Amino acid sequence: MQQRQLGASGLSVSAIGLGCMGLSSGYGQVTETGEAVRLIRAAADQGVTFFDTAEIYGPFTNEEVVGEALAPVRDEVVIATKFGFAVKAGRQGVDSRPEHIREVVDDSLRRLRTDRIDLLYQHRVDPNVPIEEVAGAVAGLIAAGKVMHFGLSEAGVRTIRRAHAVQRVTALQSEYSMWWREPEAEILPALEELGIGFVPFAPLGKGFLTGAITPDTAFAEGDFRNVTPRFSADVRRANQALIDLVATLAAERGVAPAQIALAWLLAQKPWIVPIPGTTKATRLRENIGAAAVELSHEDLRRIGDALARTPIVPGERYPATHQALVDR
């Protein structure tokens, strides 16, 4: 698969990564370990070299699955994980105290069966710990050889600049898709200025842009979309025009709607690397195939004009308690 560099960091990864969260949490049913391992290894066999996990996915079990799956090809892939939540008994909420970061990294290394974390993100900004202290703690882990690169997730421009002044930020991970284009206003220009790569999560709108979700879709028990305002039946119905647009563009090109959505993201900047997640081998092949879908300048102009004419009702991306953790 085509490789991309995350900004000016020199970290090279496959143009399409794999978000592994959904194998262990978020969507109700947990994928059986053997099946999850096979899916991750299938991704590696098909050219994916960038795998995303976090201690809180499970919690803990997702890192264990990723570690088991990638152990045979560890030196051929890039593993990203995250710290920033208090997930052990007796604590709740965010926790980016330097001593906690160091503890989390040691635990993650053990679960991932590796001696280094290629890209370590702060999962959410901690308002109680100055970002300079966070960046300094990660800088110490980089000096010790336990971490190779530093990243942030859902951080605002001011936080990114402050962190980058202490320790180079290699990548920002935040939501970005045809359905959620807020990063275009301030985030993308700042990242380009600073030489920071961008890793969009939910590049398929948490499944919505595939066209497989309708206003009548019932999500499984435990699926976070049941409590997400954006996935209320009314909001899904209000955004059907966007889904119809993507489906039309895909039909014209003879590709899947998901491939149009991912190819559009790849065309925005050469340092953008989306990480769609899936639990299905067919969807995995489909997502990987998006890297070979080339959109011409005329294609992009038509898509841009169509998006401008298509009303989008965004809805809140998280329940109120989670929305409060998004840095501005």
pTM of the entire predicted model = 0.95
Q: Residue 102: how many CB atoms within 10 A of its CB?
A: 17
- Provide the residue type at 108 as one letter: S
Rounded to the nearest 10°, the torsion over CA 171, 312, 328, 317 is -80
Catalytic residue among 57, 121, 176, 318: 57
- The answer to whether residue 57 is catalytic is yes
pLDDT of 317 reads 84
Cα 37 to the center of its chain, rounded Å: 19
Domain of residue 137, CATH code: 3.20.20.100
In a domain, 303, yes or no: no
In a domain, 157, yes or no: yes
* 203-205-206 Cα angle (round to 5): 100
In a domain, 129, yes or no: yes
In a domain, 322, yes or no: no
pLDDT of 324 reads 59
With a cut of 70, which residues of the chain have pLDDT below it?
Answer: 89-91, 320-325, 327-328
In a domain, 323, yes or no: no
Tokens representing 196?
């920071």
What gap in Å lies between CA 155 and CA 178, rounded to an integer?
A: 20
In a domain, 256, yes or no: no
Domain extent for 8: 3-204+268-293
Tally of structural domains, the chain: 1
Contact at 8 Å (CB) between 134 and 105?
Answer: no
Quickly list DSSP for 269-294: -TTB------S-HHHHHHHHHGGG-P
List CB contacts of 28: < 8 A, sequence separation 6 or more.
Answer: 219, 220, 221, 222, 223
Strand, helix or coil at 116?
coil
In a domain, 163, yes or no: yes
pLDDT in tens, 287-307: 999 999 999 999 999 999 989
- Provide the residue type at 151 as one letter: G
In a domain, 317, yes or no: no
